[in-house]
Amino acid sequence: MKTNGLVARIQGKPDRWKERWGQRLVAAVPMGWLLVFFLAPFLFVLKIAFSESRLGIPPYQPLLEWVDGAVLQLQFNLANFGFFLEDPLYAAAYLSSLKMAAVSTLICLMIGYPMAYSITKVRQPWRNVLLMLVILPFWTSFLIRVYAWIGILKNEGLLNNFLMWVGVIDQPLPLLHSPFAVYVGIVYSYLPFMILPLYATLERMDLTLREAAQDLGCRPWEVMLKITLPLSLPGIIAGSMLVFIPAAGEFVIPDLLGGSNVLMIGKVLWNEFFLNRDWPLASAVAVVMLVLLLVPFMLFQHYQARQDEAEAR
Amino acid sequence: MLRPAERNAPSSPRFEPWTQPGNTPFIRVQGVSKAFGGEPAVTGANLDIYKGELFSLLGGSGCGKTTLLRLIAGFEVPDDGRILIDGIDMTGVPPYERPVNMVFQSYALFPHMSVERNIAFGLRQERMPRKEMNERVSQALDLLRLTPLSSRRPDQLSGGQRQRVALARALVKHPKVLLLDEPLAALDKKLRENTQFELVNIQERVGITFILVTHDQEEAMTMSTRIGIMNEGYIEQVGTPREIYEFPGTRFVADFIGAANMFGGVILRLDEQGAAIQAPDIETEVEVAHAGAGVAGMPVTVMVRPEKVRISKTAPKNQDTNRTEGTVVEIGYLGDMSIFHVRLDSGKVMQASQLNLHQDAEQKITWEDRVHLSWHPSNAVMLTL
What pLDDT is stored for residue B121 in this prediction?
A: 94
- Residue A38's CB is within 10 A of a number of other CB atoms, namely 10
Closest chain A CA to residue B106: A208
Region B374-381: what's the mean pLDDT? 87
Closest chain B CA to residue A211: B75
What pLDDT is stored for residue B4 in this prediction?
A: 37
pLDDT band at A14; cut points 50, 70, 90: low
3-state SS assignment for residue B292: coil
What pLDDT is stored for residue B362 in this prediction?
A: 61
What pLDDT is stored for residue A13 in this prediction?
A: 56
pLDDT (tens digit, 9 = 90+) per residue, B279-298? 888 877 888 887 777 778 88
pLDDT (tens digit, 9 = 90+) per residue, A104-160? 999 999 999 999 999 999 988 899 999 999 999 989 999 999 999 999 998 888 888
Pick from A13-17, A180-184, B201-205: least confident = A13-17
Distance in angstroms (rounded) separating the CA atoms of residues A12 and A33: 36
Region B189-206: what's the mean pLDDT? 87
- Spell out which residues of chain A touch residue B112, defining contact as CB-CB under 8 Å: 230-231
**B193 vs A243: which has the higher pLDDT:** A243
What pLDDT is stored for residue B5 in this prediction?
A: 40
pLDDT band at B7; cut points 50, 70, 90: very low
CATH 1.10.10.10 fits A86-312, yes or no: no
Q: What residues of chain B, 58 to 87, have a C-beta less than 8 Å from chain A?
A: 73, 75
Q: What residues of chain B, 105 to 124, have a C-beta less than 8 Å from chain A?
A: 106, 108-112, 121-122
CA B43-B176-B152 angle, 5° bins = 105
Q: Do B108 and A313 touch (CB under 8 A)?
A: no
What pLDDT is stored for residue B132 in this prediction?
A: 93
Q: Check whether B161 has a pLDDT greater than 80.
A: yes
Q: Do B108 and A211 touch (CB under 8 A)?
A: yes
pLDDT (tens digit, 9 = 90+) per residue, A241-265? 899 988 988 888 998 898 877 888 8
Interface probe for A, chosen from B107, B109, B112, B182 (most Cβ of A below 10 Å), is B112
Q: Do A219 and B96 touch (CB under 8 A)?
A: yes
- Spell out which residues of chain B touch residue A231, defining contact as CB-CB under 8 Å: 111-112
**What is the phi/psi pair of residue B62, to 5°?**
80, 15
**Residue ranges of chain A assigned to CATH 1.10.3720.10:** 86-312
Region A71-85: what's the mean pLDDT? 73
Region B257-285: what's the mean pLDDT? 85
- Residue A87's CB is within 10 A of a number of other CB atoms, namely 11
The H helix count followed by the E strand count for chain B is 8, 20
What pLDDT is stored for residue A249 in this prediction?
A: 86
What pLDDT is stored for residue B361 in this prediction?
A: 63
Strands (E), chain B: 27-36, 39-49, 54-58, 80-85, 88-89, 100-103, 177-181, 209-214, 226-231, 234-239, 261-271, 274-278, 286-288, 299-304, 310-312, 322-333, 337-344, 349-355, 370-375, 380-383
pLDDT (tens digit, 9 = 90+) per residue, B202-213? 888 888 999 999
Q: Do B125 and A217 touch (CB under 8 A)?
A: yes
pLDDT (tens digit, 9 = 90+) per residue, A276-300? 888 888 888 888 888 888 877 787 7
The enclosing H or E element of A72 equals: strand A71-74
- Select, from the ranges A168-172, B18-22, B226-230, the one with the highest average predicted confidence (pLDDT): B226-230
Pick from A46-50, B102-106, B336-340: least confident = A46-50
What pLDDT is stored for residue B8 in this prediction?
A: 41
The enclosing H or E element of A86 equals: helix A83-86
Chain B nearest C-alpha distance from A308 (Å): 12
pLDDT band at B3; cut points 50, 70, 90: very low
**A260 vs B48: which has the higher pLDDT:** B48
CB-closest option in A206, A213, A310 to B106: A206
> Which is it for the CA torsion A44, A46, A49, A51, positive or negative?
negative
Q: Check whether B187 has a pLDDT greater than 90.
A: no
Region B14-42: what's the mean pLDDT? 88
**Predicted TM-score (pTM) of this structure:** 0.79
Q: Do A310 and B155 touch (CB under 8 A)?
A: yes
Query: What value does the mean pLDDT of chain A take?
Result: 85
- Spell out which residues of chain B touch residue A311, defining contact as CB-CB under 8 Å: 155
**Interface predicted TM-score of the whole assembly (ipTM), two decimals:** 0.82
Region B221-248: what's the mean pLDDT? 92
